[in-house]
C-alpha cells in the first residue's frame, strides 16, 4: 500500500484486490464523496421536502405491474438485454428509474444484474441531487459486488465527484488497482499517474511513489491518444529508468543478495536466473568483478519485445510493464517477417557471417555493432535478429536485409534487460 494513504485504508493494506474485503475502503471513499457533493447540490429539491421522488418520504413505492413484468428489454435476455430502469435513466426519467430500481431490488441482490441496478440507482439519485441516497446505493454496490465492473465504474465516478483532492487520488488509485482491465480503470490509471507524477516526480522528488506511477502509466498506455503518447513515454522512461537502472531503485520484484566468499557474478546470476549483464547494469557496475560483502540488487526479468515495422519502433516491456520505446531500422520491403518469435542467441561483440566469410567485431566491414540477439531465419542460411550498427544514420529506416538494427547505445540497454527466451512480436 502506498505510504501516503491515510489510516482508513489499512483494510486495503491487509487485503489487496484478489484477497477480499478491500471494499471497506471503497465504502469510506463513497461516503466522503457523497458528503462533498452535498455541498454543491440542494437536498430539498423533491416535492414537500422529501427525499423520495414520489413525495411519500419513507413510504415504500407500490409495485407497478408494468415495471415488474418484462424486467429486461430485448426478449427478456439477461445476457444481452438492457434493464428497463436503465432505459428510463437514459431517457432522463430519473424518478421513474429510481422507482423501477427500488422495486426490482426489493427481491434482494440475487436478481440478475443487481450490480448494474445499484450503479444506475446511484447515478439516478445523483441526477436528482440527493448525494446521501447516491452514497447509500453505491455503498451497497461495494459491499455486495466488490469485484463487479460496475464497482470500478462507481469508483471512477466517485473520483470525479469528490471535491477533496486527497480523496480523489485515493479513489482513482483503488479504481485502477482493482479494475485495470476496464475502460474506467485505464482512465483512472492515467489520471492518477499524471497527478502523482506532477506531485512526486517534480521539484520535490519522492521515489517511494514511483513504482505505482510506472505501473499506472503502463496500464493506461492503450487508452492514451497517439499524439499524447510521447509525454507518457518520456515520463515512463524517467521513472522506470530510475527504478530499474539505479542501484537504489526498487521496482516490484527486486531484492538484494549479499556476496559470499567464493561467489562469482556468474554464479549469482545462474543461482538467481538472471543474465550476468543485467546484474552489472542494474547495479551500475563498471565490470563483473565483485567482492565478498557487496550488496547486489537482483531484478528478475520477464521481458517482451514488440516491433512495429511501419513506425520503425521497438517497444520493450519488462515484467508486464512498458519500459521504453526505441527507434529501429527494419528490412527493405517485406524482408523482415511478421509473427511471433523468441530470442535464442545472445552474443556480445558479434562476428558477422556474410556468406562463407567471417568478419570479426572491430572490422570496419562488420555492420552488426556491439550486440546480437538472434530469433530466427529470413531464408536458407540467413539468420535474423536484433543488433547494433556501425551506421547509426540508417536508424530509423527500411534499409536492412531483414534484421532489426538499433544504435549501439540502445541495443546494449535492451540486451542487458532481455534474457534468452524473450518473446519478440513483429507486426
Comparing 7-192 with 303-426, is the CATH topology the same? no
Which one is predicted more confidently, 102 or 34?
Answer: 102
The Cα-based distances of 38 to 101, 126, 234 in angstroms read 22, 10, 39
In the set 117, 270, 377, 403, the catalytic residue is 403
Its CATH class, for the domain covering 7-192, is mainly alpha
Which one is predicted more confidently, 27 or 85?
Answer: 85
In the set 117, 270, 377, 387, the catalytic residue is 387
List pLDDT tens digits, range 366-416: 999 999 999 987 555 578 999 999 999 999 999 998 999 999 999 999 999
Question: pLDDT averaged over the chain?
Answer: 82
Phi, psi of 264 (to 5 degrees): -110, 165
User: Within 10 Å of residue 11's Cβ, how many Cβ atoms?
Assistant: 17
Q: Where are the domains of the chain?
A: 7-192, 255-298, 303-426
- The x, y and z cell numbers of residue 151, run together, are 464497482
Its CATH class, for the domain covering 255-298, is alpha beta
The Cα-based distances of 88 to 81, 112, 125, 319, 414 in angstroms read 14, 18, 13, 45, 55
List pLDDT tens digits, range 156-176: 998 988 888 898 999 999 999
- Per the annotation, the verdict on 117 as an active-site residue is no
- Per the annotation, the verdict on 403 as an active-site residue is yes
Which of 6-10, 19-23, 214-218 is predicted least confidently? Answer: 6-10
Closest CA to 208 of 216, 200, 199: 200
pLDDT-derived band at 107 (thresholds 50, 70, 90) equals confident
Average pLDDT over residues 99-120: 90
303-426, superfamily in CATH?
Answer: L,D-transpeptidase catalytic domain-like (2.40.440.10)
Query: Is residue 242 exposed (0-12), middle (13-18) or buried (19+ Cβ within 10 Å)?
Result: middle
Which one is predicted more confidently, 8 or 176?
Answer: 176
CB–CB of 243/219 below 8 Å? no
Amino acid at each position: 500500500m502506498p505510504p501516503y494513504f491515510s489510516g482508513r485504508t489499512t483494510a486495503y493494506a491487509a487485503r489487496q484486490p484478489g484477497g477480499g474485503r478491500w471494499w471497506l475502503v471503497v465504502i469510506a471513499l463513497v461516503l466522503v464523496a457523497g458528503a462533498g457533493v452535498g455541498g454543491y447540490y440542494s437536498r430539498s429539491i423533491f416535492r414537500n421536502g422529501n427525499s423520495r421522488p414520489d413525495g411519500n418520504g419513507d413510504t415504500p413505492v407500490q409495485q407497478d405491474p408494468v415495471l415488474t413484468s418484462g424486467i429486461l428489454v430485448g426478449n427478456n435476455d439477461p445476457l444481452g438485454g438492457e434493464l428497463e430502469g436503465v432505459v428510463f435513466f437514459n431517457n432522463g426519467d430519473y424518478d421513474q428509474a429510481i422507482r423501477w430500481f427500488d422495486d426490482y431490488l426489493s427481491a434482494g441482490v440475487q436478481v440478475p444484474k443487481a450490480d448494474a441496478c445499484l450503479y444506475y440507482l446511484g447515478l439516478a439519485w445523483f441526477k436528482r441531487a440527493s448525494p446521501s441516497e447516491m452514497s447509500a446505493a453505491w455503498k451497497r454496490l461495494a459491499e455486495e459486488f466488490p469485484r463487479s465492473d460496475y464497482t470500478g465504474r462507481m469508483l471512477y465516478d466517485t473520483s470525479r465527484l469528490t471535491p477533496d483532492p486527497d480523496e480523489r487520488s485515493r479513489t482513482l488509485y483503488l479504481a485502477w488497482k482493482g479494475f485495470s482491465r476496464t475502460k474506467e480503470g485505464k482512465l483512472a490509471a492515467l489520471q492518477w499517474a499524471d497527478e502523482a507524477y506532477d506531485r512526486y516526480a517534480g521539484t520535490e522528488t519522492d521515489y517511494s511513489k514511483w513504482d505505482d506511477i510506472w505501473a499506472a502509466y503502463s496500464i493506461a498506455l492503450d487508452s492514451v491518444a497517439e499524439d499524447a503518447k510521447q509525454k507518457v513515454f518520456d515520463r515512463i522512461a524517467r521513472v522506470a529508468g530510475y527504478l530499474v537502472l539505479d542501484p537504489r531503485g526498487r521496482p516490484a520484484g527486486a531484492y538484494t543478495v549479499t556476496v559470499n566468499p567464493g561467489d562469482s557474478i556468474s554464479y549469482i546470476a545462474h543461482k538467481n536466473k538472471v543474465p550476468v549483464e543485467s546484474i552489472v547494469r542494474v547495479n551500475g557496475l563498471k565490470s563483473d568483478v565483485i567482492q565478498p560483502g557487496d550488496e547486489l540488487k537482483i531484478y528478475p526479468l520477464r521481458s517482451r519485445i514488440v516491433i512495429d515495422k511501419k513506425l520503425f519502433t521497438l517497444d520493450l516491456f519488462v515484467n508486464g510493464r512498458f519500459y521504453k520505446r526505441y527507434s529501429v531500422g527494419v528490412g527493405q520491403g517485406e524482408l523482415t517477417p511478421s509473427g511471433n518469435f523468441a530470442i535464442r542467441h545472445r552474443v556480445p561483440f558479434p562476428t558477422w557471417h556474410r556468406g562463407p566469410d567471417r568478419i570479426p567485431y572491430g572490422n570496419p566491414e562488420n555492420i552488426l555493432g556491439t550486440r546480437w540477439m538472434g530469433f530466427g531465419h529470413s531464408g536458407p542460411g540467413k539468420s535474423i535478429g536484433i543488433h547494433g550498427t556501425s551506421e547509426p544514420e540508417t536508424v530509423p529506416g527500411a534499409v536492412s536485409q531483414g534484421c532489426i538494427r538499433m544504435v549501439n547505445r540502445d541495443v546494449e540497454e535492451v540486451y542487458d534487460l532481455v534474457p534468452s527466451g524473450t518473446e519478440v512480436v513483429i507486426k
